[in-house]
Chains A and B, each alone.
Chain A
Amino acid sequence: MSKLNVIQRGDNSPGWNESHQFQSAEINQIKIINSSNARSLNAIPSPLARLHLIDAAFALVYQDELNGTGDAGDAYRKLVSDCLDVFELIYNWNTHIEEKAELKIVTWNKETETGLLKQEFLKNKEQKKEELRRNPDDKQSLGLQQIDGFKEYLVGDTLSLFLNAAPFDSYDGIHIILLGDKPLAGTSPLTGFFTTPNDLSDFSLINPGNNQRYFSRCIPFAQRDKRIRRFIYDFFTVQGREIFHAELPVSRYLQHHATNIPQIPLQLAELSAMHSKLFNEKIELRANAEHVAANLLENYLVRISYRLNDECFYVANTVGKQDRTHDYLLPLTPKFFKINSADQIPALVSIIEKDTGTVEVRIVRNGETFSKTYQSNRIDNRDGYLVDLSGTHSIKVGLGIFPFLKVEDDDTFNDFYKVMFVGQDNHFRLSNKDFQLKFGKDGKVIEPEENTVFTITRDERMISEKGKTLCGSTYYSLNFCFDFIQLHVPVGEHQVRCTIAPHWVSKQLGANQVDFAVDFGTTTTFVAYTDSKNYGTLPKNFELGHDEVPVALLNKPIEMRNGIRWIDRYEHSTVLPDFNELLEIQKHEFVPSLLNSDKYSFPFRTVIYEKTSVASSQKVTLGNTNIAFAYQKEFNSLGYGQTYLANLKWSINTDSRYKQAINVFIEELFHLMRVKTLLSDGDPRFSKISRFFPLSFSQGDRHAYDPIWTQKYAAIFKGDPAQLRSVTESEAPFYYYSKIMADENGAVRITDTSSVITLDIGGGTTDFMYFRNGNPVIGTSVRFGANVLWGNGYSEYINEKSNGIYRALKSKISDNLKSSLQKTLNEFLNKPESNFGSDEIINFWLSCNESNVTDELKSGRFRFSYLLHLSALIYHSCKLLQIYKHPSPECIIFTGNGSKYLDLIQTPDYIENICGFFVKEVFGEETGRPQVILPSKNRKEATCFGGLYQPTNTTTQFKPVSYSGFETETDSYKRYAEIDLHKMHVFDSLGATFTEFVECLFKMNAFPGLSFRANFSIDSNLMALKTFLLQNARPYLSTGYDRRRKTVSELDEVTDALFFYPLVGLLYQVNKLSESELGQYAPKTSYYAINPDKENSFAGTRLSTERKPESIFSIRVDSNNPDHGEIILIGDVEANQRAMVGINSFLRYVCDFNEFPSTASPDISVLEPGRVEREKDTDRWLIRTKIKIKFMPA
């Protein structure tokens, strides 16, 4: 007998005989040759085939497991596995939601949705029917396909048809699980869920339970985690008891495994933010609320080649060699931080080094241990990867955080954080964009693109290529204090993730008031502060010392020991021997680890370091632009794409680039000051901040600066705006010197405060302030700072290096510099392509403070220029007092960094003498010599300190005045327009004033103890110098005035003294003149002669100093060289005629000529003068070179 059937079964009587429906056991016996083809699974003749198919799969797999057979085929086993994976996905639901997976469950209601599909068609059909009714003759039939909406209707109708049949008819719909917009599973009353027929093998989510992608493997029920088994079993047999009857394959399947369901209570919670009541709301989906190792531990453990800075970061308790030089970045997930605080890390997390290449990470929490093993050659899929980042992969990473401070009780001050990230790849693969930092707070990673109150911006700054090494820096700006940083590094095919948890310096807002004074200068900037109530103690230099470290670096600093400075803990070459780039980047682009006298101390240069490709408006403080603390202190090899920007102060209105740089500079200063305040137990809102401005600031300058200061103050200190005060630069020192007795810098107290001048000499300007009886009365500012000496006159190029002093000393000083760092910096600054002018370089020389450098600058050749500079300032100051009818000064205070050149002139007592000389010259003999206060160093301090001491109860009384140097009561000019109108008159008057000054200056030479040669070693030809000054003043006055007029409008008030305009050009020229050039200006004596006594000489006795009517020759003698002279023919007609008479008798002995004259009385033209020399013994002038002449027709 043989059944015509797929299997032999049942009654074997021949013919058509009654049998029974196929049982799954029988179906299972149907042999399948090859069932790998997934298409073959579409065989169920229902739109709901997929649901039945999964059901069938359970039946077949159940049979196999029951009988120990393997007949079901891989395709069916995979279906069962995928279905069970959906349950795992539900179980891990909340974990995925935390990871931002776009998982959701949507409801598809049978009635509603099919209704929507049918609606249009049904309406159109009725219309069509109606038409047919009205035209009964029309033989047309109702062609449904032709009615609009038929297709959708068909789908709706078919779905209804099948969903209204058992077993679906009792459910009102299907719930669909979506990942993004992709449906991946739906609910099924047959098997709980059914999966999509589309390929799920590249499904992106990782099952945290096994670290595998969901749906990627076929995992039998029995091999699933005990919790998952319990979860699935409960779903069907407890919650789903009424839905999944015992006869269903899935029920049988689970019943078969019932003995293997562990009795463990599951901690479940609602699904995050999701409607999760299924099957007519009979089952509420719940997800795991327990923590599993996979939730807490990442799949990667990153090994780095340095030790972690455990002073600033939480580190795990690492069990390994104590003297190891490596460490591990934490493999902790955001979830970890959700349930633990970062400070628990050392207690909870252990990293245990096992064999080479095997490390275990263990979290012991409430007696429960979560552990994960990481291996460099991973064998078991459940293990993680041990990634030796610096070793195997040659990738180095490091970071720094500024400020490293968290205010615990007032979050408004936790609004500014900068994270510097440096990544380096020695195999030229990864650049800045490949590294990512993410920031976490409250157990959640804050995504920058999410619209929250938290903002994170990222600036890629530097990238350098050196051989095969790519190294770059990236900066993150955050407005919130974060709990952890997640570092993402692509390593080969792996997206490695690890975590860094800062151990913030935690502060409460204190009650202290910390006040600051900021002197934002042309060349340098200085900040002073006081935290003493009522200013009972001396103000202090701003410092952030070793117990106030503003920056936290991820790498561990070296131990403090004898013989090193605190800064060396962070910057020593042994700190990161194979990753020095990080430290270099920190110094130049970020904030140094310490700001104290070790290295980076105030005052420091007013210079910004910035990325060149950034538009002005895009400058970000510590993102792409920063204060160049290391400028001229450390060599910079960071490479292209970045530049220094100096000369900020006076350029605020020239170019938005400068304005934005100033903005950054001030912002960074404010943040440093805020850190200081907080660390000093202060409340920034109490802080008073004094800022200084020079008198010579124009209205426009003030208007440009004011909003920057006020905005920064408001945003960063958040105090009452009235606490931000403006003080004039030259006013401030007075308050300081009138309070102290003496300070360690050699400053002394003002002995008589009845009439005091302060001269604040800066790089660009010198500010003058006069105090009468302790009160400021008048002040002025001139654009005549020290850089006039070091710069390039009226050159318009900032990088010009034609300065005479610079040219003369460039090579010598380069040789004299001692330290190799200074040498390197000097070389760098001097490169022809460098952006630095001579003023910048000489200021650098001065800052080196090396005696053999300053000795060169003290050379007598240059001293005249220093003296001239000082004299002009004093003279002008005295004239100013005089014009405003003030008594002579009893005290003159010099401050400002630019006043350093005074030290190059002579010792302070000479300076006092010089000042005394001019006071007497201007005010008369009877006046006493004023006291001069000239501290030996830190002349900027006085400004800042004074700023802190400015009396707060008095409003400033002084009036800014301008005095150009020549005005009288009747002849004064307020606006440039007025000067323009009377320019010649003004220039003439100024010329007269200038001549007066020059006469006065040279008079000093004769004054006892002030001899230029004897006391100041000035050995130049003084007479020539004087002539030079007098002769060239006028052209420079014109140039200076024209330059000024380019920057001011005709209606602007005159704020700048015109007196100094000639000096700017002259001072430049003075140091450039060669001896012979100067010689041109030496005074000459002329002698006149009628004819030679002998063929080749004139007797000295026959020469006259007056020209006589019969004189033919003129001999001019340089007063410096009285025995040599120049001889010419006197060039008038009469003299010519007389000379022609003696053409043969004497003219030919004295003159050279090629042709005799063609006419009797020609013009004689002197082509070249002749030279004569006096024979001292005989007092005869011998002709050494004849005069070259030519006869011209008259």
Chain B
Amino acid sequence: MARLFVFGIGGTGSRVLKAFTMLLASGMKPGHFDTVIPILIDPHKRLPDLRECKKLVRLYSKINEQVYRETADLTEGFFITKMQTLKAASTDGALRDDIEFDEEHDEAFGDFINMTGIHRKSPGTMHLLSLLYSDSNFRQSLSVGFKGNPHMGSMALNELIGGPAYNAFKSVFSNGDRIFVISSVFGGTGAAGFPLLLQNFRQSDKPEIKNSPIGALSVMPYFKLSEPGQTSDIDSNDFMTKTKSALTYYARREFTTLFDSIYYIADPGQQTDPYKNDESRQDNKAHLVELIGALSIFHFASASPTRRGMVYEYCLTENKKQIDFGNVGNPGRTMMADRLTSLHLFSKLHPVIRKNAAQLSLCKLNDFTEAFFNSEDFTDNEHGLELFLSQYHKWISELEANQRSFSPFDLGAGRNFSTLIRSGRNTTDRHLFNGIFKRPSDMSDLLNRTAMASGRNTIKRISGDRKLCRYFLMCYQGTGDFIDSVIKKGKA
């Protein structure tokens, strides 16, 4: 029961974690880790990214629990990896939040650190602090992140260490577990939290933590903001300057010994239309970089680190504005294409099955009645599958709509699947999607494959009263078979 603790720091942390959740939902597995414990760190509580991410994680977690409860033997399937909240994992009932670390701060940084108190106790420290922080830093409010001031963040976020959430993490963490930290280097919160966490892990009094393999994703600039108006402190022109100084810091020998693997990712210059610069919302569309970033978690989870300070970077096959499975790069495609396609097909398949439940034999056979589909497991506004699928759809649509678009699927495709998968045409790797279906296919093929899968033993083994699990597995296998037989050139 090895667990992967994934810390998502700041807005970028939430967004990558969202992509990670989608990939987990598709059935991708983070190495041998059967449980993922996501921990979100962001003092900017009202940020939609954070709220959405939390909702999505809870939703996933609920679905996972509903589907796979009592079936420990299953190793594959949508939502197969367990996503547990820290609260659930811990025995500390007083934890305020299940995923997120602690409370919000509205006060100015100077008040947060209590300058008057410091001055009283150690005037010298006040001198030192005013060499480390500018006067305007002290006046700045913490309520909207650290406004691109990670050095403030490093002080403020250290509050978490020693807080109940961190203590819960500490007590839960055990041998074999791993840590992964997602952060950005150009913002405030993420940039600050990452080295802080690293320092704390490595100076921890708990040897399991101190010696744990630690991976990290450092997201560098991949979008830009509209010119800052009177109201915003964030200027994307500075992103690169900040990146430079952060990289210099990361590149130091002292720092590289703190982590096992670091994953750098960025996509500067591709975006031409700036995001709306609104600090309070940061309402940005899902991005390829976040998806690739999420892949790094799987990469780290599967690898066995040999030495400290490993550095990884991601390479696309083509530098194009539109990325699909053809040019995303083979290893990436290998990691996710099957499963993501599977999830995508599931999202198309489920509404059809549900609509035709009365007629479809696979439903009749498995007693997937209208009532079954109307149950909370599907329709609940907080933890129903359909909610998740609609989230998925929104997400995948955003990925396509963004500049440096990721559009592996023809989102406009209807029942006809002939053009569903987008892929480069010149690839010779027969394991890869090439966009040319072996033969024309449509929804009916998928339904067939699913019906066939429902007859399999693996599915039949699942007891009748666990229809939901049976349904998920059926769809998983059905979509998988469909991909293998219809989309791929052949199986290895």
Give residues in A with beta carbon < 8 Å to B.
1-6, 9-24, 27-28, 30-35, 37, 39-50, 52-53, 55-56, 59-60, 73, 75, 106-109, 113-114, 116-117, 119-120, 139-145, 149, 151-152, 154-159, 161-162, 164-167, 174, 176, 178, 182-186, 194-198
Identify which of A34, A119, A158 gathers the most chain B CB atoms within 10 Å of its CB: A158
CA A18 – CA B264 in complex, angstroms?
10
**Contact A151 B117, beta carbon cutoff 8 Å:** yes
**Contact B118 A20, beta carbon cutoff 8 Å:** no
**CB-nearest residue of chain B relative to A59?**
B248
CA A44 – CA B242 in complex, angstroms?
7
Interface residues of B in 314-345 (CB under 8 A from A): 314-319, 328-332, 334-335
Which residues of chain A are near B412, meaning CB under 8 Å?
none
CA A60 – CA B131 in complex, angstroms?
22
**Contact B155 A152, beta carbon cutoff 8 Å:** no
A252 to chain B, nearest CB (A): 13
Interface residue B69 (Cβ < 8 Å from any Cβ of A): no
B331 to chain A, nearest CB (A): 3
**Contact B122 A176, beta carbon cutoff 8 Å:** no
Which residues of chain B are near A113, meaning CB under 8 Å?
122, 124-125, 128
Choice from A53, A186, A198 contacting B135 with Cβ under 8 Å:
A198
**B29-37, B38-46, B157-165, B477-485: which lies at the interface:** B157-165
Choice from B112, B129, B133 contacting A151 with Cβ under 8 Å:
B112
CA A528 – CA B372 in complex, angstroms?
133
Of the A-B pairs whose beta carbons lie under 8 Å apart in the complex, a sample of 8, sorted by A's number, is A14-B329, A23-B251, A27-B244, A43-B185, A46-B151, A156-B125, A185-B131, A197-B133
**Contact B121 A53, beta carbon cutoff 8 Å:** no
**CB-nearest residue of chain A relative to B192?**
A45
**B79-87, B305-313, B453-461: which lies at the interface:** B305-313
A249 to chain B, nearest CB (A): 9
* 0/1 string, B229-258, CB within 8 A of A gives 1: 000010101101111111111111110100
B63 to chain A, nearest CB (A): 28
Identify which of B200, B314, B317 gathers the most chain A CB atoms within 10 Å of its CB: B314
Choice from A46, A154, A182 contacting B113 with Cβ under 8 Å:
A154
Choice from A31, A174, A184 contacting B240 with Cβ under 8 Å:
A31
| Known contacts A52-B249, A178-B127, A16 near B316 by CB under 8 Å | no
B183 to chain A, nearest CB (A): 8
Interface residues of B in 179-236 (CB under 8 A from A): 185-186, 191-196, 199-200, 203, 220-222, 233, 235
Interface residue B152 (Cβ < 8 Å from any Cβ of A): yes
**Contact B150 A44, beta carbon cutoff 8 Å:** yes
CA A1111 – CA B366 in complex, angstroms?
179
**B15-23, B276-284, B288-296, B382-390: which lies at the interface:** B288-296
Interface residue B359 (Cβ < 8 Å from any Cβ of A): no
CA A149 – CA B159 in complex, angstroms?
13
Known: A43-B243, A59-B248, A117-B121. 9 other contacts (CB 8 A): A4-B267, A6-B268, A12-B315, A37-B238, A42-B150, A44-B246, A140-B94, A152-B117, A161-B199
A171 to chain B, nearest CB (A): 13
| Known contacts A15-B331, A27-B248, A113-B122, A155 near B220 by CB under 8 Å | no
**Contact A48 B132, beta carbon cutoff 8 Å:** yes
Which residues of chain B are near A151, meaning CB under 8 Å?
112-114, 117
Interface residues of B in 428-484 (CB under 8 A from A): none
**Contact A16 B295, beta carbon cutoff 8 Å:** yes
CA A47 – CA B314 in complex, angstroms?
30
CA A176 – CA B241 in complex, angstroms?
27
**Contact B118 A152, beta carbon cutoff 8 Å:** yes
**Contact B314 A43, beta carbon cutoff 8 Å:** no
A330 to chain B, nearest CB (A): 40
CA A1002 – CA B278 in complex, angstroms?
119
Which residues of chain B are near A14, meaning CB under 8 Å?
315-317, 328-332
Which residues of chain B are near A196, meaning CB under 8 Å?
130-131, 134
CA A40 – CA B246 in complex, angstroms?
11
**Contact B133 A16, beta carbon cutoff 8 Å:** no
**Contact B118 A43, beta carbon cutoff 8 Å:** no
**Contact A108 B94, beta carbon cutoff 8 Å:** no
Chain B interface extent, by class? 35 or more
Interface residue B13 (Cβ < 8 Å from any Cβ of A): no
CA A56 – CA B163 in complex, angstroms?
33
* 0/1 string, B380-398, CB within 8 A of A gives 1: 0000000000000000000
**Contact A5 B153, beta carbon cutoff 8 Å:** no
| Known contacts A17-B315, A42-B137, A45-B150, A6 near B243 by CB under 8 Å | yes
Chain A interface, >50% SS class: mixed
**Contact A37 B265, beta carbon cutoff 8 Å:** no
Which residues of chain A are near B193, meaning CB under 8 Å?
45
B413 to chain A, nearest CB (A): 26
**Contact B235 A40, beta carbon cutoff 8 Å:** yes
**CB-nearest residue of chain B relative to A164?**
B203
| Known contacts A19-B311, A161-B158, A149 near B128 by CB under 8 Å | no
Which residues of chain A are near B235, meaning CB under 8 Å?
37, 39-40
Choice from B161, B192, B309, B334 contacting A21 with Cβ under 8 Å:
B309
Interface residues of B in 71-114 (CB under 8 A from A): 92-94, 103, 112-114
**Contact A144 B162, beta carbon cutoff 8 Å:** yes
Which residues of chain B are near A55, meaning CB under 8 Å?
248
| Known contacts A42-B151, A43-B186, A197-B137, A17 near B132 by CB under 8 Å | no
Identify which of B154, B222, B235, B265 gathers the most chain A CB atoms within 10 Å of its CB: B154
**Contact A145 B248, beta carbon cutoff 8 Å:** no
Interface residue B11 (Cβ < 8 Å from any Cβ of A): no
B473 to chain A, nearest CB (A): 30
A608 to chain B, nearest CB (A): 55
| Known contacts A154-B158, A155-B113, A37 near B241 by CB under 8 Å | yes
**CB-nearest residue of chain A relative to B313?**
A19
Interface residue B407 (Cβ < 8 Å from any Cβ of A): no
Which residues of chain B are near A154, meaning CB under 8 Å?
113, 155, 158-159
Interface residue B8 (Cβ < 8 Å from any Cβ of A): no
Interface residue B266 (Cβ < 8 Å from any Cβ of A): yes
Which residues of chain B are near A166, meaning CB under 8 Å?
253-254
**CB-nearest residue of chain B relative to A158?**
B158
**Contact A183 B130, beta carbon cutoff 8 Å:** yes
**Contact B133 A117, beta carbon cutoff 8 Å:** no
Which residues of chain A are near B125, meaning CB under 8 Å?
108, 113-114, 116-117, 155-156, 159
**Contact A5 B128, beta carbon cutoff 8 Å:** no
| Known contacts A6-B243, A16-B314, A18-B311, A162 near B251 by CB under 8 Å | no
**Contact A4 B314, beta carbon cutoff 8 Å:** yes
CA A53 – CA B117 in complex, angstroms?
28
| Known contacts A45-B193, A117-B121, A19 near B296 by CB under 8 Å | no
**Contact B121 A43, beta carbon cutoff 8 Å:** no
| Known contacts A4-B289, A113-B124, A139-B93, A197 near B134 by CB under 8 Å | yes
CA A688 – CA B243 in complex, angstroms?
88
| Known contacts A52-B248, A149-B117, A40 near B155 by CB under 8 Å | no
Which residues of chain A are near B244, meaning CB under 8 Å?
27-28, 30, 32, 43, 56, 60
**Contact A106 B124, beta carbon cutoff 8 Å:** yes
**Contact A145 B163, beta carbon cutoff 8 Å:** yes
Identify which of A2, A10, A24, A186 gathers the most chain B CB atoms within 10 Å of its CB: A2
B272 to chain A, nearest CB (A): 14
Which residues of chain A are near B163, meaning CB under 8 Å?
144-145
**CB-nearest residue of chain B relative to A193?**
B131
Which residues of chain B are near A18, meaning CB under 8 Å?
310-312
**Contact B248 A46, beta carbon cutoff 8 Å:** no
| Known contacts A48-B132, A151-B113, A10 near B313 by CB under 8 Å | yes
Which residues of chain B are near A44, meaning CB under 8 Å?
150-151, 245-246, 248-249
**Contact A56 B127, beta carbon cutoff 8 Å:** no
B325 to chain A, nearest CB (A): 12
| Known contacts A49-B150, A117-B121, A5 near B249 by CB under 8 Å | no
**Contact B241 A43, beta carbon cutoff 8 Å:** yes
**Contact B195 A46, beta carbon cutoff 8 Å:** yes
Which residues of chain B are near A198, meaning CB under 8 Å?
130, 134-135
